[in-house]
Chain A
Amino acid sequence: MPRSAADHAAHDELLIARLYGGDVDDRERARALELVAVCEGCAALYADVGAIADATAALPVPPRPRDFALTEGDAARLSPRHRFRGRLLGLGRRRSFGGAMVSLGFSGLVLTFALSIFGAVGKPASLDAGAIQEQRAAAAATAAPVPAPADNNFGANATAATAATAIPAKAPETASPAPSPAFYDGATPGAPAVAGGGTSNAWAPSAPPAVPAAATISQSGWDGREIVLGGSTAALALGMLFLLAPAIRRRLRGGARR
């Protein structure tokens, strides 16, 4: 006997839809078939779902508006060689790359200058420039008579020199293992060896003139700040070049036409 609409409201419509889609196990199938058999609402639902599915399959399609055959131009544009070139020189990518390089370079420059400023602020206030000059002169005078044999241990010499001038010595392990005598000699007479730009030990009171130089100079003679500065400048220039390349090219083409 058919059940009322009130009964149907309590029935699982999704189960009926799943029955139509064949997505039920044996137990669910038996339950769904029973509902379809005894409930008018479920039977109508089952019939409607089927009718809608049939109508969907039969939905007319308007005629295609054009032929989709590829032209020679399309084929050339889609060829791997053209795609690679397009990727390499794509405007969007070029702009992204240029922008990234400019950001990187600018950040590097800001970082370098910030380190310089904060480094200068951090220098001890107890030592003024005159005191530093006096210390350097004393250190140079003391260190000058010390012979510098070819196989000399630089750290040992530095320790001896600082002991003579009563300036606290830096630990020997901070010195480079075996600097050449020429390097050592060149550092002594009134122009103490300094790192890179020649200012790194100006505010380093705990170290004698020669020691921090050996500690901060890399094997190539560049200090880290200079490397960052150079790299940042290069990145900035490269980024600007990428960003301005289209305008430069347009200008060059315009000039060539004229």
Chain B
Amino acid sequence: MALVEEALRGRLEAFNQLVARHQDHLFGLVFRLVPDRDQAADAVQEAFFSAYRNLESFRGGSVRSWLGRIAVNAAMDMQRVRHRRPVQPYPEFEDDSWQPPAGEETEPESQSLALERSRALARALGALPFEQRNCIVLFDVDGYDYAEIAGIMRVSVGTVKSRIHRGRLALRSALAPNRELFRG
């Protein structure tokens, strides 16, 4: 909050401290919505531009949520553009040169399984309509509740619930050939 006030007084360093604090989280969120690293980066950059332009509109509360809302809107704008010019979803998961950060599974077999699971899930997520994908990611990954998602996406709470439930069923159908990857 203090950083926002300082940024409002024209201190760019204060705003850039906010950027440093939240950019990883926002990139992680947007990357799951816009399944292309470059486009996700562009959306996050645009979100920070938008936040800087609209600092006066910050009404207090959680800066993280405020920035998250702006980033989701930027990602949705990007998705609408991408909808017209589709690209391969989540190319990073198909690229062997990029490996996800190692988790608790230190065994090579476990790591390989986790990577396979991520690839399959990313492909299935990328095949979902972006309205369903957005709702699922916001709910499962970022922990927004139904009402918050409805506010961000400007639809009714019922629509959000329906998109999440139907999206999950669609994901399960898409992942049917890889079901064993998800049964531990």
- List A residues at the B interface (Cβ < 8 Å): 13-14, 17-18, 20-21, 23, 45, 47-49, 51-53, 55-62, 64-70, 72, 74-75, 78, 83
Contact = CB atoms under 8 A, between A and B. Distances in A.
B179 A48 contact: yes
Contacts of A14: 165-166, 169
B118 interface: yes
Given A59-B32, A59-B121, A70-B16, A48 B182 contact: yes
A44 to B, nearest CB: 9
Given A21-B161, A48-B172, A49-B172, A75 B24 contact: no
Q: Which of B15, B136, B169, B175 has the most CB of A within 10 A?
A: B169
B45 A56 contact: no
B1 interface: no
B152 interface: no
Nearest to A51: B182
B175 A66 contact: no
Contacts of A61: 27-28, 31-32
Task: List 8 A-B pairs, minimum CB-CB distance, nearest first.
Answer: A60-B100, A17-B165, A61-B28, A64-B27, A51-B182, A69-B16, A56-B140, A68-B23
Nearest to B38: A65
Contacts of A70: 12, 15-16, 19, 48-49, 52
B45 A68 contact: yes
A45 B172 CA distance: 8
B118 A57 contact: no
A16 B24 CA distance: 34
A45 B24 CA distance: 34
